[in-house]
Amino acid sequence: MMIKAQVNDVVNWIIKKSEDDGQPVTPKKLQKMLYYSYAWGLVFLNESSNELDNKLFDTQFEAWVHGPVVPSIYRQFKSYGYGPIDKNIEYPHFDEETTKILNDVWEAYGHLNGDQLEYVTHQELPWRKKREGKQPGSPSDEKLSDADMFEYYGAQLI
């Protein structure tokens, strides 16, 4: 298995990028940007859903009420609530391929706020599939499927 980066380095990249673009990132937006980075990483780093050995970073997303979430990252930034994350950091160093994926995801989704990104994830199969049969406000620790992400987002390229 090839893991390109550490999840906390990608978190720091997203925070720094949002700060540089004058769009402070909230915990909700951070989670969704992290999710899209991971999902698109699966698409760009693998050939098929049968062999998803290459990942941008190693983690699992859960189908929470407000969309895909990495619980450990949620706990790390929970104190910011709905406010912007104010953390003085430098860009982590990544290889060219990782940087390209992160920049592409930022170009596609970075202009959206956390609520807009939540709305988008709620329309998409990977999250919806794991929320089937659950009440809208009920908690869930169902893990999103890497194969579902690969298939769903990969089909968007066609």
In the chain, the N- to C-terminal Cα span, in Å, equals: 26
Place of tokens 């999250």: 127
Closest to 97 (Cα-Cα) out of 46, 150, 30, 149: 46
Of 35-39, 94-98, 154-158, which range is least confident?
A: 154-158
Of 60-64, 79-83, 86-90, which range is least confident?
A: 86-90
73 token code pair: 């990252």
- Residue 37, C-beta contacts closer than 8 angstroms, at least 6 positions apart: 10, 14, 56, 57, 101, 102, 105
* Amino acid (1-letter code) at residue 37: S
Report pLDDT for 1.
Answer: 83
Structural domain count, the chain: 1
Report pLDDT for 63.
Answer: 97
Query: 88 or 93: which carries more pLDDT confidence?
Result: 93
Residue range 113-125: mean pLDDT, rounded: 97
Report pLDDT for 98.
Answer: 98
Query: How many Cα atoms occupy the beta-carbon half-sphere of 69 within 13 Å?
Result: 21
Percentage of the chain surpassing pLDDT 90?
94
- Structural domain for 65, as ranges: 2-155
DSSP state of 5: S
Report pLDDT for 88.
Answer: 87
- Residue 88, C-beta contacts closer than 8 angstroms, at least 6 positions apart: none
Check if the beta carbon of residue 117 is closer than 8 Å to that of residue 67. yes
Report pLDDT for 24.
Answer: 86
Q: Please report, for residues 5, 13, 81, 91, 103, the alpha-carbon distance to residue 88 in angstroms, rounded to integers and kept in the order given.
A: 20, 11, 18, 10, 20
